[in-house]
Amino acid sequence: MKENRIWENNEAVLEIWGTRGSLAVSGPEYTVYGGNTSCVSVRTSRRLLIFDAGTGIVGLGRRLAEEGFKGRADLFLSHVHLDHIQGLPAFPLLFCRDAELVIYGEERMGKNIEEQLNSVFTPPYWPVRLEQAPAKIRFQSLKEGERLELGDGIAVDTLRSAHPDRCLMMKVSAGRSCAVYATDCEMDRDFIPKAAAFAEGSRVIISDAQYGPEELEGKRGWGHSSWVQGNLLGRSCGAEQVIHTHFDWTADDECLRERESQAEKDWKGAVFAREGMKILL
């Protein structure tokens, strides 16, 4: 009932399916914030957009299967580091004949996104190829600085982030709703104003907080940030909320609770992502 009202208002719901960076983890010390790697969905009454296909995408796929989802989903890959594609071959939507999956990604090292994924999901690294999936799969190239109009009032803009092997930051606009997905980015003082201009008008920002602020000095050039940079970005662009995510596997619940309380003290808009978190945009 509540969701029907959301749809009538042409608003969007963002949901977090994976909160980890680099590596999935499991165990009693990871139950609060979650152990799956990056995946976020944005749904409106007409469309389903997915950002990254880390192991979290499997939970999203299970939910879609329970709902009997048929039709099109648009999957945007920020880059093809393993933690962002690991869940793709087990994504339940791939096994649904009535589903259509459009996969967007940037060309890298002379290979388009289809060729990049095919070079990983193929024997001997994986027993089946994506083209063997029953779902209809299409691929589309994404470019830095591009605006993609998807129809139904939805658009996705991209910005180059600061990360080894390249990565794209993405802004999704759906009617009056707007959010930025910005994991895998080493935000320094020069980059934050650029990211803030890109994120202008976004109520919510999903931001890379792989490390604690005290760890950053030793991780220069690794392509990640802490909650300090995310809070700066949120304040700079007037966002209401920054959802910090992409946590390192060494950060257990106790560590993340402590970091989250520091981040909240610094700025009231800070929150740490938890799997299953749902936000009305």
Which residue ranges make up the site for Zn ion (CB under 5 A)? 21, 81, 83, 184
Identify which of residues 20 and 47 has a Cβ nearer to Zn ion in the complex: 20
**Residue with the shortest CB distance to Zn ion:** 81
State the minimum distance, in angstroms, from the CB of residue 271 to Zn ion: 20
State the minimum distance, in angstroms, from the CB of residue 191 to Zn ion: 16
State the minimum distance, in angstroms, from the CB of residue 79 to Zn ion: 6
Identify which of residues 81 and 171 has a Cβ nearer to Zn ion in the complex: 81
State the minimum distance, in angstroms, from the CB of residue 87 to Zn ion: 13
Identify which of residues 22 and 44 has a Cβ nearer to Zn ion in the complex: 22
Identify which of residues 85 and 178 has a Cβ nearer to Zn ion in the complex: 85
Identify which of residues 83 and 186 has a Cβ nearer to Zn ion in the complex: 83
State the minimum distance, in angstroms, from the CB of residue 45 to Zn ion: 31
String of DSSP letters for the chain? -HHHHHHHTT--EEEEEE-BSSS---SGGGTTT---B-EEEEE-SS-EEEE--STTHHHHHHHHHHHT--EEEEEE-S---GGGTTTGGG-GGGG-TTEEEEEEEE-BTTB-HHHHHHTTSSTTTSSS-GGGSSSEEEEEEE-TT-EEEEETTEEEEEEE-S-TT--EEEEEEETTEEEEEE-S----TTHHHHHHHHHTT-SEEEEE--S-GGGGGGGTTSS---HHHHHHHHHHHT-SEEEEE-B-TT--HHHHHHHHHHHHHH-TTEEE--TT-EEE-
